Every structure is written in C-alpha cells, then in structure tokens.
Amino acid sequence: MSSIAQHVLVLGGTSEARALAAALVADGVPVTSSLAGRVAAPRLPEGTVRVGGFGGPDGLARWLDEHRVTAVVDATHPFAARISASAAAACASTSVPLLRLARPGWRQADGDDWHWVDTLADAAALVPRLGSRAFVTSGRQGLAAFAGVTSVWFLVRCVDPPGPPLPPRAEVLLRRGPYHADDEESLLREHRIDVLVTKDSGGTLTEGKLVAARRLGLPVVVVRRPPRPEVPTVADVEAARTWAATPAR
C-alpha cells in the first residue's frame, strides 16, 4: 500500500489504535498517535506519540492546521465522549476527514443476567438491590459514584491507583489485562462476589469477566455507552487502515 496521506492523527490508546498505528507505519504512512495521559505507563504505539489534551475543539483544530494533518481516526475508548466531540467539531471546522474506529459492544448470551443503566450513578443505586459483594471493573475514573454506598463491599480493579473518594468498604486490585475467563472465575469465587459492574467497553481483552459471571449465574450491571457524534464509522482496524490511505474520502 502506498503512502498517500501526508499525516494521519490517531486518537486513543486502545488496542485498536495501537494496531492501526502499526499498520500505517508498515504502509509508510506518517502517523501521530495521541494519548490522553491518564495511565502512568501506557503501552506506546509505533510511530510518533504525543501525550495530553489539545485544549478542546479549538486547540485541536489549531494542532491539525499546524501539523498539516490530512486525516483523523478517532480510535478512543468507547466512553471517551469528550475527545470524540472535540474531534468532530475540530475536523468540521478545518475540513479534515474524520473516521471513527469503534469496537462493537458486548452482546448478551444465553444465561446472562444483565441489568443495563445509563450512568455509574445509576449503577451505584442498583448494586445494593442485586448483591452485597460487588466487583467493579469500570476503571478508576468515576469511582466517586460508589462512595456513598455503605451496604456493599467492593473489589475495585484498575490499572493505576484510584484517587478519593472511594467506597468506604473496598479493596483495590491493580492489574492490567488481558483477563482470561478461568482466572476471572477464580477471582470471583475467591472474593465471594455476587454482582459484577462494568461498562460496555466491548472487545475480547476484558470479556472474560462476563463469561465468568455467566458460569456462576451472577447479575451484571452494564453501563451503556454515551452518545457520540454522527461521523463515518468502521468496526475493524483493516477498514480504518484502508480509509486512512485512500485519497478520496
């Protein structure tokens, strides 16, 4: 594949973003990957890497102009709604083509007992009605939503240590995926978990907990994805790779 795009900006530190950056580098396409900087030791993609925010839509628009970006791929986490909104606004104002690379959400299977909610606050309100020992895998951002829940013991898993406030009865487990179903089942049994809380992040790296919950017959509180701007969207890296190297978008 020939190098056609002058400069592709890939937003996000997801596994899909890293795979796309590697593919574009292999194609000879100049690429910069932008990471939010919320993880202390992120897995760095190939190519040029920048860390930190842009300063909103206007700041991103200026960056696109200054660095002669010819295409943007938003491969951020499904719950990173703010940067997606900034990308849509910045690309619209600069006429830079924008593509969303969005991994599909998880699908319920036979035996699942899923309870869908819109926010972490809704999840915190629901958990005491479903169990007394909860496994929270929604990341360290937003744990304050559970800080007022006193009737439930929480096992909280994060990559980096979370800041306060935390639930008053909680144990923090610092681990990085992927997580396999057998290991997840052992973890749930060890801590006598009776309810799982997760965001609908999708993908296979963290799906093992859902398989484990299904095996054990546990209820799962699933936070829906936030709305995103309506932009062209693909679900796989190869489609994004082809788009980024195509002159006519």
Q: What would the pLDDT profile of 84-114 be if each residue is shown by its tens digit?
A: 999 999 999 999 999 999 999 999 999 999 9
Verify that 92 and 168 share a domain, yes or no: no
> Tell me, what's the pLDDT at 36?
83
Verify that 78 and 122 share a domain, yes or no: no
Q: Is residue 61 part of a domain?
A: yes
Verify that 159 and 204 share a domain, yes or no: yes
Which CATH number characterizes residue 205's domain? 3.40.50.720
The pLDDT mean for the chain works out to 93
Identify the domain containing residue 62 by its residue range: 8-104+227-244
Verify that 178 and 216 share a domain, yes or no: yes
Verify that 122 and 211 share a domain, yes or no: yes
Verify that 123 and 213 share a domain, yes or no: yes
pLDDT at residue 232 tops 70:
yes
Determine if residue 202 is left, alpha or beta; phi over 0 gives left, psi from -120 to 50 gives alpha, anything else beta: left
pLDDT at residue 208 tops 80:
yes
8 A C-beta contact, residue 9 and residue 20 = no
Domain total of the chain: 2
Verify that 127 and 163 share a domain, yes or no: yes
Verify that 81 and 128 share a domain, yes or no: no
Verify that 125 and 214 share a domain, yes or no: yes
Verify that 231 and 203 share a domain, yes or no: no
Verify that 125 and 92 share a domain, yes or no: no
Total residue length of the chain: 249
3-state helix, strand, coil in the chain (%, to 5): 30, 20, 45
pLDDT at residue 64 tops 50:
yes
Q: What would the pLDDT profile of 8-27 be if each residue is shown by its tens digit?
A: 999 998 999 999 999 999 99
In the chain, the N- to C-terminal Cα span, in Å, equals 16
